[in-house]
Amino acid sequence: MASIKQSVILGLATFTIFSSAASIPDTNPTEFGPSKAAAQHNAFGIFNAVHSAMRQWGSSLNHNGMSLFVVTIPPGVLLHHGSPNSTPPQGPEWLAFEIEHAELARVGGEGRVVDWQGVVDLIVARYADRLKYMADGVESLAWMQGELNGLLNTHIDYSEEDEGYQAALGRCTRYYTRVAVPNTQEDHLILAAIETVTHNICSTLLTVRKLVVENTHADEDSIIAAKEALRVLMGKLEWTTWKQCAGCNFDEVCFIPVWPFGDKASYEEPNCRNATTLDKGWWDPASRYWHPMPNLMPPPDESE
Ligand SMILES: *[C@@H]1O[C@H](CO)[C@@H](O)[C@H](O)[C@H]1NC(C)=O
């Protein structure tokens, strides 16, 4: 670990929505340049890019993830740097992604992306497990109804007339963003992307609710149709949290390839590994993930 007095981190980002122009043109998503339509068109990718920004996990799954953003780190922030010796780097060097969130939140300047990350985190925390459970785990109508009511009742006002639940849909869509005060063009575009995603989530949930809660003849087929709709939604969301290992032992890590180490199978399906199994598949050219393999570390001598 090295404490860097003042330095600038350049991260990478897939989305090309950032620019400094002041107005937000509402142009066709197939045209180049920032626009609300483009932000909505690329909403799922933008949402995930904000979620994964400066974090190892999501960036390991989508590693061309981020375009450049400039971040000023205040004095005293601890950054992580691995090397074969114990001397701290004297100049610019690579630094590990995983800085504690509290420290990131203090990052000024262009680092405001982390405020949006807080919003995105709340949305993922609210829905990731619930969606997965409904799509894969739920077996009875009563459980499915319970899940849907738990997610949607906050947004439904049963005392008002709400044709097609349009008002509920609006409240659900903007629940996590209604207090957001977008200033810059980037803010407006990220907001448009986030609300496109939450609109998709909320409208799917209301559709599923129609199938299994409103429908007085709901049966086994309704559960199947509900799960299918939820799986389609999950396919669009592609949240990286769904690739996390379920419950590794205390002596294990959930391993995903991080340059220069790793194997292809762990990229497809990150898995729990202990100190003994950690480097399984890293060295064989047929199974390793990174090509070419840099000459940083020799493979272990199996003959010993
Ligand atoms: C590591 O995991 C493997 C496979 O799960 C197991 O066979 C082995 O005993 C474990 N090693 C240690 C040191 O716990």
Phi, psi of 166 (to 5 degrees): -65, -40
Q: Quick one: 143 exposed, middle or buried, by C-beta within 10 A (0-12, 13-18, 19+)? A: middle
**Distance from the CA of 8 to the center of ligand 1, in angstroms?**
41
* Ligand 1 atom closest to 275 (CA): 13
> Do 180 and 269 lie in a common domain?
no
How many domains does the chain fold into? Answer: 3
Q: What is the pLDDT of residue 64?
A: 60
Q: Which of 76, 111, 146 is the last residue of a domain?
A: 111
> Do 280 and 192 lie in a common domain?
no
Q: Which of 111, 127, 154 is the last residue of a domain?
A: 111
Q: Which of 62, 93, 111 is the last residue of a domain?
A: 111
> Do 135 and 219 lie in a common domain?
yes
Grade residue 232 by pLDDT with cuts at 50, 70 and 90.
Answer: very high
> Do 169 and 281 lie in a common domain?
no
**Distance from the CA of 152 to the center of ligand 1, in angstroms?**
44
> Do 251 and 212 lie in a common domain?
no
Say yes or no to pLDDT of 52 above 60. yes
Structural domain that includes position 68: 2-111
Q: Left if phi > 0, otherwise alpha if psi is -120 to 50, otherwise beta: which for 181? A: beta
* Ligand 1 atom closest to 274 (CA): 1
Residue at token pair 């993930």: 289
pLDDT tens per residue, range 94-105: 666 554 433 433
- Using CB distances shorter than 6 Å, the residues near ligand 1 are 251, 274-277
Query: Is the separation of the CB atoms in 176 and 122 below 8 Å?
Result: yes
**Distance from the CA of 276 to the center of ligand 1, in angstroms?**
6
SS3 70: strand
Q: What is the pLDDT of residue 100?
A: 41
> Do 225 and 265 lie in a common domain?
no
Nearest CA to ligand 1 atom 11: 276
Share of the chain above pLDDT 90, in %: 57
> Do 76 and 134 lie in a common domain?
no
Say yes or no to pLDDT of 151 above 60. yes
* Ligand 1 atom closest to 251 (CA): 14
**Distance from the CA of 266 to the center of ligand 1, in angstroms?**
17
pLDDT tens per residue, range 161-213: 999 899 999 999 999 999 899 999 999 999 999 999 999 999 999 999 999 99
